[in-house]
């Protein structure tokens, strides 16, 4: 069991689990038969990255790893401390190791260190001077130095469930030694339900709000729903404009648009705006969606998306947000086609495969007499000289042949484009196809 608590600590710190049996919400890692839990019980833990949302128990698990392995626990924050402090810790840890004792260096928010700073841990992890336990709310694949990541095991912690949060609150209310038990408080069911909902799976947040509400209620008092509402700060969305959640949410928005779901589209748009994402970033992505997922199935989609960007730029927030919502719903409900996207990718591949293919002579520019004498532009036929505005002639180099990069779909405006292309193909077939000349490739 862990040592005595400091009564001056916040409730959330005092109520940290004292052993694995008190840990809630991470049975997939800590339960019997699971690798991390068994390693902790044996006291045989190596360098580890704990990845999970706020309040899921990363610090508690790290402390238990030190306790069960009988190693010194040294806490370090990448937010407030730097490499010089690491050197001090390593120096003491080396002396401790010489005397036969190990050290767990717990680096909270390790993702706040840049990749070069993270290198400071490497030689000491390899030599065994420290066992590094890094805690992060960000995807380690993006935020942790590859060399360091390869020397650590990564465990993913989950947000606590509503049942877990309820258990945490009730335990804190009942515990007379570490919690609020001596105050004999009553927690209304409605207040408990609100606290559970508003905590977003974050035990620390739930206990912090409960502690503040308890101070208002006083000994023998009742924590009501209204009191919780009064104390509870606005929930801060879990979002990092440069991290994984940024990419997760924009991916969800893009896929909702592509999937023609206006409800999901509005929800994910609202989540990003409310979390503080740059609206012009969203506007740029909407413009991209208009070309990638709609294209010529609805040529107005690009105009609408671009207009929304301009409208937001003109109006600012919050008025301009409605223009983005309008554009997003328009895109979600528009007919879909990725034929422009596919055609562009195919054309790029062909261009990269034939970078030196010469331009056919009949469609070359011929501004000088010499160039005309060399055959530049010879045989080219001006399309507007035809009553139909169309003459059949080759516009691709010989190396590319008769490749068809763009093939229209069957929906929206592309259906009309397909009909037009079919008519031109029939015209070309009736007249024969060439490179130019009198028959002009007509």
Q: Does domain 244-333 have CATH number 1.20.272.10?
A: yes
pLDDT score for 365: 86
Domain boundaries, the chain: 26-156, 162-231, 244-333, 358-431
* pTM assigned to the model: 0.58
pLDDT score for 362: 87
What tens digit of pLDDT does each residue of 88-97 get? 999 999 999 9
CATH code, residues 26-156: 3.40.50.300
Q: How many CB atoms lie within 10 A of CB 325?
A: 17
What tens digit of pLDDT does each residue of 144-201 get? 888 898 889 999 999 999 999 999 999 999 999 999 999 999 999 999 999 998 888 8
pLDDT score for 59: 92
For residue 441, pLDDT beyond 70: no
What tens digit of pLDDT does each residue of 40-50 get? 999 989 999 99
What tens digit of pLDDT does each residue of 392-432 get? 888 889 889 888 899 998 989 999 999 988 888 888 876 55
For residue 62, pLDDT beyond 80: yes
For the chain, give the mean pLDDT: 87
Q: Which CATH number fits domain 358-431: 2.60.120, 1.10.3710, 3.40.50, 3.30.70?
A: 1.10.3710
Which overall architecture, per CATH, does domain 162-231 show? Orthogonal Bundle (1.10)
- Going 45 to 49 to 52 to 56, the CA torsion angle's sign is positive
């Amino acid at each position: 069991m862990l040592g005595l608590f400091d009564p001056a600590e916040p409730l959330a710190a005092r109520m940290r689990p004292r052993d694995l049996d008190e840990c809630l919400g991470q049975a997939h890692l800590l339960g019997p038969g699971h690798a991390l839990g068994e390693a902790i019980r044996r006291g045989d833990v190596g360098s580890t990255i704990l990845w999970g949302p706020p309040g899921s128990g990363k610090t508690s698990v790290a402390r238990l790893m030190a306790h069960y392995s009988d190693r010194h626990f040294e806490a370090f924050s990448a937010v407030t401390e730097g490499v010089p402090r690491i050197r001090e810790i390593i120096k003491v840890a080396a002396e401790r190791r010489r005397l036969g004792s190990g050290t767990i260096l717990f680096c909270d928010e390790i993702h706040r260190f840049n990749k070069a700073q993270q290198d400071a841990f490497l030689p000491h992890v390899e030599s065994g001077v420290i066992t590094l336990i890094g805690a992060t709310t960000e995807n380690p694949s993006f935020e942790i130095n590859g060399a360091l990541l390869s020397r650590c095991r990564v465990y993913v912690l989950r947000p606590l469930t509503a049942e877990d949060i309820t258990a945490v609150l009730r335990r804190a209310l009942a515990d007379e030694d570490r919690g609020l038990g001596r105050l004999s408080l009553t927690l209304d069911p409605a207040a408990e339900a609100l606290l559970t909902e508003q905590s977003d799976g974050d035990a620390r947040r739930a206990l912090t709000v409960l502690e503040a509400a308890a101070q208002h209620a006083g000994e023998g008092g009742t924590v009501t729903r209204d009191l919780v509402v009064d104390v509870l700060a606005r929930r801060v969305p879990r979002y990092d404009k440069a991290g994984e959640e940024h990419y997760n949410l924009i991916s969800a928005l893009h896929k909702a648009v592509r999937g023609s779901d206006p409800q999901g589209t509005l929800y994910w748009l609202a989540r990003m705006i409310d979390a503080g994402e740059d609206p012009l970033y969203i506007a740029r992505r909407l413009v991209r969606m208009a070309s990638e997922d709609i294209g010529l199935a609805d040529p107005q989609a690009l105009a609408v998306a671009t207009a929304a960007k301009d409208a937001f730029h003109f109006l600012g927030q919050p008025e301009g947000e409605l223009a983005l919502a309008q554009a997003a719903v328009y895109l979600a409900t528009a007919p879909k086609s990725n034929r422009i996207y596919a055609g562009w990718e195919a054309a790029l591949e062909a261009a990269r495969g034939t970078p030196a293919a010469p331009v056919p002579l009949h469609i070359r520019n011929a501004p000088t007499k010499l160039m005309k004498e060399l055959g530049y532009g010879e045989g080219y036929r001006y399309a507007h000289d035809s009553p139909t505005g169309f003459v059949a002639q080759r516009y691709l180099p010989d190396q590319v042949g008769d490749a068809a990069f763009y093939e229209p779909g069957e929906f929206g405006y592309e259906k009309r484009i397909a009909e037009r292309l079919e008519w031109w193909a029939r015209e070309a077939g009736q007249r024969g196809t060439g490179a130019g000349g009198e028959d002009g490739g007509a």
